[in-house]
């Protein structure tokens, strides 16, 4: 059933076996696994069923360090969470790019915080398969050969440092519409809107959370009590709530990671036919109906042996300037004006031009790359409070010299690989700064069996507690380059299996 907590009497208490805090993709995926089971579930969401301004004010915070878009525009409070502000075209709707982490993302890169994940990549494979279905995607297949199409062959790359792989694209609708409707109709589940958890309260031992304190715009306060609590609020809100509740250890909030984007490289094709031959790297519908788009990926050898940050390269067309002497840009503008055809959305759709070489004169090479965990990139609590009295978050974030050096090495590999393959000439604007605003927050409640290096154990349980868990990208020990949603879903499904066993007992 659905419930507006803001309308409940002051002091009302909700009780359940399992309380999930946050109804974004992670919380929705987790809660959905319990539909029809003999386990009572509360799913608490700060926002409501439609876009409202007031809940978004709770996302305000500050940034210290390097420039960053901010903590409000990169998040959204509503049932469905941040999927409401996804901006990737997915067929005829809006959605997201999906891709799993690479096996080498789980591996150690050194000691301390770089010692890898406490679980192996293979352990997530069955959960990735389930996540594919959950997100309305195709099979768990992301190598170029899995999508062989004579009409759209991938480039022949001469070395073993770059390889052709794909993204899959899926709509936001399952998380914004279909699954919330299923949850609202489930007899054993209460989908609670306008329910902002402001603090968690533990018992006298500090090991068991006994209740969540809930505030709302109405000014009334309620509580939620449960046998088990799960935080699914994202990599800013999860540590914020732990810090405000004085739960967890010194690692809470540390190792914030983003997926910086680099726009410094451009490819001038060796021949105009490269646009026609490069259709694999545009979005297209595969034979089985899956929407995919090719990309250039670093191989495991490149990452392991050359000490590179993991990365992926997307080919985005560079439109001929309208002021060019040959008038081709003006031709494109006339086509747009005459037929109402838009420029390719998000850089995709370019291969559907009948004469792409007459419209585009090159490619921008967008690099999505990983940021390694650093303890001083972190979330802390500020002195200001929000409308419900919770201290606002402060993000301390920097792009460090060693990270820029890794990007410079990566650029060199991309340049040499593409030029050696005869695809054209690659130019580098070395003065162009990175764009840190992918809105892929991760790492602030990282997973590690050692409480000195992580906040949660390999099951997602907060160290030092018996019944408090965290799921989502905040538990990532490393984030690779990958859009995090597929891994978020896989981890939520893995946690659901664990909680079914423990709650069943």
> Is the distance from CB of 381 to CB of 393 less than 8 angstroms?
yes
Residue 12 has pLDDT above 90, yes or no: yes
Question: Could you read off the pLDDT of 202-231 as tens digits, one per residue?
Answer: 999 999 999 999 999 999 999 999 999 999
Residue scoring higher pLDDT (43 or 342):
43
Q: Choose the weakest-confidence range: 341-345, 409-413, 453-457.
A: 341-345
Query: Which carries the bigger pLDDT value, residue 166 or residue 90?
Result: 166
- Dist. CA 500–CA 505, nearest whole Å: 9
pLDDT (mean) for 99-108: 97
Q: What is the pLDDT of residues 347-357, one digit of tens each?
A: 787 787 777 77
pLDDT in the model for residue 93: 85
pLDDT at 318: 86
Over 80: is that where the pLDDT of 121 sits? yes
Q: Is the dihedral of CA 194, 88, 285, 158 positive or negative?
A: negative
- Report the pLDDT averaged over residues 236-261: 98
Is 50 exceeded by the pLDDT of residue 332? no
pLDDT tens digit sequence for 283-320: 999 999 999 999 999 999 999 999 999 999 999 988 87
- Mean pLDDT, to the nearest integer, of 154-174? 94
Give me the percent of the chain exceeding a pLDDT of 70: 94
Q: What's residue 356's pLDDT? A: 78
pLDDT at 327 exceeding the cut of 60: no
pLDDT band at residue 256 under the 50/70/90 scheme = very high
Residue 346: pLDDT band by 50, 70, 90 thresholds? low
Residue 455's beta-bridge partner residues?
Answer: none
pLDDT level of residue 110 (50, 70, 90 thresholds)? confident
Q: What pLDDT score was predicted for residue 82?
A: 96
Q: If we measure between CA atoms, which residue out of 463, 483, 459, 464 comes closest to residue 473?
A: 483
pLDDT at position 329 is: 46
Residue 419 burial by Cβ neighbours in a 10 Å radius (0-12, 13-18, 19+): middle
- What pLDDT is stored for residue 333 in this prediction? 46
Q: How confident is the model at residue 197 (pLDDT cuts 50, 70, 90)?
A: very high
In which residue ranges of the chain is CATH 3.50.50.60 found? 1-86+173-258+377-397+441-505
Q: What angle do CA 503, 128, 314 make, to 5 degrees?
A: 145
- The confidence score (pLDDT) of residue 505 equals 65
Which residues contact residue 88 at a Cβ distance below 8 angstroms, ignoring those fewer than 6 apart? 94, 95, 96, 97, 169, 346
Element (H, E) at 418: helix 401-420
CATH topology for 1-86+173-258+377-397+441-505 is: FAD/NAD(P)-binding domain (3.50.50)
Backbone phi, then psi, for 60, in 5-degree steps?
-60, 145
pLDDT at 343: 45
pLDDT of residue 321: 60
Residue 341, pLDDT above cutoff 50: no
Q: What is the structure's pLDDT at 91?
A: 73
pLDDT tens, position by position, 358-408: 888 899 999 999 999 999 999 999 999 999 999 999 999 999 999 999 999
Supply φ then ψ for residue 375, to 5 degrees: -65, -25
Convert the pLDDT of each residue in 48-67 to its tens digit: 999 999 999 999 999 999 99
Q: What is the mean pLDDT of the chain?
A: 93
For the chain, give the percent of residues with pLDDT over 90.
85
């Amino acid at each position: 059933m659905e419930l507006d907590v803001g309308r409940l009497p002051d002091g009302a208490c909700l009780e359940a076996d399992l309380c999930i805090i946050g109804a974004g993709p992670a919380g929705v995926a987790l809660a959905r696994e319990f539909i029809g089971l003999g386990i009572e579930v509360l799913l608490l969401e700060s926002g409501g069923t439609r876009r409202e301004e007031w809940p978004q004010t709770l996302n305000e915070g500050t940034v210290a360090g390097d420039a960053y878009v901010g903590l409000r525009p990169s998040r959204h409070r509503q049932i469905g969470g941040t999927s409401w502000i996804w901006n990737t075209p997915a067929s005829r709707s809006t959605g997201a790019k999906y891709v799993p982490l690479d096996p080498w993302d789980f591996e150690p890169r050194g000691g301390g915080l770089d010692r890898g994940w406490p679980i192996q990549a293979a352990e997530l494979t069955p959960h990735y398969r389930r996540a594919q279905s959950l997100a309305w995607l195709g099979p768990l297949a992301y190598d170029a050969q899995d999508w062989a199409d004579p009409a759209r062959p991938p480039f022949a790359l001469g070395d073993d440092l770059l390889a052709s792989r794909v993204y899959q694209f899926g709509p936001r609708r399952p998380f914004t519409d279909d699954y919330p409707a299923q949850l609202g109709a489930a007899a054993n589940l209460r989908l609670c809107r306008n329910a902002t958890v402001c603090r968690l309260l533990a018992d006298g031992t500090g090991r068991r959370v006994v209740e969540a304190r809930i505030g709302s715009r109405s000014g009334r306060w309620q509580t939620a009590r449960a046998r088990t609590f799960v935080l699914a609020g994202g990599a800013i809100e999860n540590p914020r709530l732990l810090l405000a509740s004085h739960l967890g250890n010194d690692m809470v909030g540390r190792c914030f990671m983003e997926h910086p984007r680099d726009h410094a490289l451009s490819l001038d094709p060796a021949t105009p036919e490269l646009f026609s031959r490069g259709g694999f790297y545009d979005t297209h519908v595969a034979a089985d109906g899956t929407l995919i788009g090719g990309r250039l990926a670093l191989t495991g050898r490149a990452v392991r042996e050359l000490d590179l940050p993991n990365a992926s390269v997307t080919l985005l067309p560079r439109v001929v300037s309208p002021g060019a002497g040959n008038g081709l840009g003006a031709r494109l503008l006339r086509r747009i004006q005459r037929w109402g055809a838009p420029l390719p959305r998000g850089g995709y759709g370019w291969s559907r031009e009948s004469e792409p070489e007459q419209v585009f004169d090159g490619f921008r090479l967008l690099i999505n790359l990983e940021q390694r965990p650093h303890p001083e990139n972190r979330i802390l609590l500020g002195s200001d409070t929000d409308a419900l009295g919770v201290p606002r978050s402060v993000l301390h974030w920097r792009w460090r010299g060693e990270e820029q050096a890794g990007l410079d090495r990566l650029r060199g590999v991309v340049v040499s690989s593409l030029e050696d393959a005869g695809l054209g000439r690659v130019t580098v604007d070395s003065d162009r700064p990175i764009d840190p605003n992918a809105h892929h927050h991760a790492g602030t409640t990282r997973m590690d069996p050692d409480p000195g290096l992580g906040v949660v154990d390999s099951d997602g349980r907060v160290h030092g507690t018996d019944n408090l868990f965290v799921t989502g990208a905040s538990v990532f020990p490393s984030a690779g380059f990958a859009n995090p949603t597929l891994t978020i879903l896989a981890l939520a499904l893995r946690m659901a299996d664990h909680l079914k066993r423990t709650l069943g007992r």
